[in-house]
Structure 1
Amino acid sequence: MKALTWQGVNKLSVEKVPDPGIQNSHDVVLRVIRSAACGSDLHLLGGYIPAMEKGDVLGHEFLGEVVEVGPSVRKHKVGDRVVVSSFIACGKCWYCSKELYSLCDNGNTNPALTEFLWGSNPGGCFGYSHAMGGNAGSHAEYVRVPYADVGAFAVPEGVSDEAAVFASDAGPTGWMGADLGGVQPGDVVAVWGAGAVGQVSAQAAALLGASRVVVIDRYPERLAMAKELAGAETLDYTAVDVDAALRELTGGRGPDVAVEAVGMEAHSTGVQFPYDQAKQQLRLQTDRPTAVRQAIYSVRKGGSVFVLGVFAGLVDKFPLGAAMNKGLTIRGAQMHGQRYIPMLLDRIAKGELKTAQFGTHVMPLSKAPKGYELFKDKKEGCVRPVFLPGG
């Protein structure tokens, strides 16, 4: 079959790779219908995530049609249209029993590197390096799905492919930021990053009862989309002092909840950007924490900061004193997709949550390297490229 493969730093190509098959009794094999690029894929492309090997198949946000079913699968049959959580979880371990699915003890079959880096291993992930299990990704004609009864979900008939694909990763990730960030009715919520994840966080905050939602970014088309879909107020961080603007909006306090949806390659206009970038390139730190720092300084005393953006290792100049002395709650996680996907599909079906518009550039899989170029460089107003393996 054909698949998009990682060939080295900033090198992608569509190649022929072996077809997947049933390896364990709880597997299914899908014919991929749509597979979306994710902002976290750019960290793989740029060489910031370890344990990538030449020829690895990328992609972790997808839906497809079941074409083969393992003998222990009970919830799915050939012909079903399903959306799949990007994180792989067994559904039976202690963490899964607490709905902490991305922390599953059994989803990652290669835990040694992450145990060394972080003290323990998270679950596995499709197409996201051998540190996260070495699972082949979804930018392909077919993909094997382990623990299919746990991680694959039937798509309601009234939900389009265009909308359903983002219930795989961007939807649950963004919703989790508002939910586990503790958004309460009447809160003021600030979201750093107006990509698909940040925009879902903004919509989620509004649906959970926030009185005001503020989205921070520098791309006008993304800010306009956040304003239209979530009713959010927007700030262009290249044009305003974000901290001062947030305090003015909140009577001097700052937002109640801050959601960081940017991650390890954050951009800024201040002197911290060249500082962080130089240290990252010299491997004196692995990540650029610009947006996290700003969220910690800007959120109100006693507020909550939730980190959705992907971080790999170590950062410099982390404002621990501010976090402690302001009495902040700081949380983060890879997304617990299995907890949220059924609810999100229901909300999409009812028209409460809008996701289809994130796929601004739909193209055949053969054009995927070009799609990633547009995505990485934010050309042509690209929010997300979506690939059609059968196109």
Structure 2
Amino acid sequence: MPKQLIVIEPRKAGFKEYVDAAIQEDQVKVKVEYAAPKRGTELMDFRNETPNLVDAYMDEWKAYMPLKYKPERFGGWPLGNQWVGIITEVGTSVLDYRVGERVCGYGGIQETHVICAVDNYYLLKMPQDMSWKSALCFDPAQFALSAIRDARLRVGDRVAVIGLGAIGQLSAQLAKLAGASYVAVIDPIALRREIALRTGADAAFDPASQDVGLELKKATNKLGVDIIIETSASEQALQQSLRGLAYGGTIAYVGLARKFNGGLDLGREAHFNNAKIIFSRACSEPNSDYPRWDWRRIEETCWDFLCTGRLQCDEIIDPVVAFGQSVEGYEEYVDQHPDKSIKLGVTFV
């Protein structure tokens, strides 16, 4: 029987066998070749740290409200965010897909997927020469592009990107594509800084050993950078963002933050420098540029950039582990030692 990667208890993954349902007329079956988990929200769930276990964001109220029904037990749900695979069966009503096509979709890390293939935008056909690693960066690319747009980056702007996970790496590349004259990247992990420099960043700083805000001022003749894309959700990073930002500049805050416990001092640079903080999230609708832009346009733009190779993703999916080692790989590289990876890849081939 095929297996899927699931959460068993807080910070513990495992395998679960499942039975593939017979495909319906509007469905296809896909044999998965590669997959990847999601960091932010999925990791908070895995660690049992998500606020959604007690409260949940209610769109009607635009606020967190107490949950009426709480889960009886923890665990049992699949881990994983996206996958790439080959179609092996096609339902009788499916006209736009055929056996042998490679596709990318959303879903858990498991050996097969049975998925609707009629009017399903999220079953994405991959060009023959497209890297599977590029396809698995579709989700983080959306949040990176949204941050660049929400920050109102203009040609010639100086930019800093804090936090070099997948979203940060792609934000740095997109800033260059958008016409930034200078892109600095900040992360305590040397490998992440090196990858960002290889893919176009102009300078890199280590917040563990450098006064990042001051370094950004030094690099810009004391002016500071016009835009900061903050993906780490660290209060220390936000403090350094306010220190290194130009007067009147913009911080696009992308990371999913936990409750701050101290260290953020808004009586310092923030009080004097007229900073603007935009909380950026690709899937919050309506988009700030609605109706010209919405989430679907962001998705379509990102997929085009990934298909055509304008975003470099080969070093972002790192490391890659075999599916049989994905329990240990998830616990090691996603949960316990995220400093050893950027975005974990899982291979089934």
TM-score range, shorter chain: 0.7 to 0.9
Partners of 1:67 and 1:75 lie apart in 2 by 14
Residues 20 and 142 in structure 1, CA contact (< 8 A), matched pair in contact too: no
Q: Shift in Å at residue 337 of structure 1?
A: 6.4
Matches within 5 A, 1:58-207: 58-67=79-88, 75-84=96-105, 137-145=107-115, 149-166=120-137, 168-207=138-177
In the alignment, what sits opposite 1:386?
Answer: 345
Choose which of 329, 332, 335 in structure 2 pairs with 1:371. 329
Quick one: which amino acid aligns to residue 387 of structure 1? V
Q: Which residue of 2 aligns with 1:359?
A: 317
Deviation digits for residues 249-271 of structure 1, max 9, x if unmatched?
A: 223232111111123xx4xxxxx
| Residue number in structure 1 paired with 2:254 | 308
Aligned to 1:57: 78
Structure-2 separation of matches of 1:291 and 1:200: 18
Higher-Rg structure is: 2
The structure carrying a bigger strand percent of its residues is 2
Q: Could you tell me how far apart the structure 1 residues matched to 2:297 and 2:329 are?
A: 30
Residue by residue, what CA displacement relative to the aligned partner does 1:305-331 show, whole Å, maximum 9, x if unpaired?
21222246x546666773897151413
Runs (5+) with no aligned partner, structure 1:
87-136, 267-288
Report which of the two has the higher share of helix.
1
CA distance in 2, matches of 1:150, 1:13: 30
**1:161 Cα deviation (Å)?**
1.7
Q: 1:352 to 1:290 in 2, by over 3 A?
A: same
Quick one: percent identity of the two aligned structures?
A: 25
Deviations for 1:334-361, whole angstroms, at most 9, x for unmatched residues?
Answer: 4576434443344344442201222222
- 1:376 maps to a residue whose letter is D
Paired residues of 2:185 and 2:201 also in contact (CA < 8 A):
no
Partner of 1:326: 274
* 3-state DSSP of counterpart to 1:252: coil
2:204 is equivalent to residue 234 of structure 1: yes
* Counterpart contact for 1:26–1:148, Cα < 8 Å: no
Runs of at least 5 residues in structure 2 that lack an aligned partner in the other structure? 54-70, 284-293
CA RMSD of aligned residues (A): 3.1
Alignment of 1:292 onto 2:231: no
- Once the 2 structures are TM-superposed, how far is the Cα of residue 32 of structure 1 from its aligned partner? 2.4
TM-score (norm 1): 0.70
In the other structure, the counterpart of 1:126 is: none
Residues 1:34 and 2:34 aligned together: yes
Amino acid at match of 1:303: G
Distance 2:214 2:37 in 1: 34
Classify 1:152/1:227 alpha carbon distance in 2 versus 1 (closer, same or farther; 3 Å).
same
Aligned residue identity for 2:253: V
Change (3 A) 1:206 1:161: same
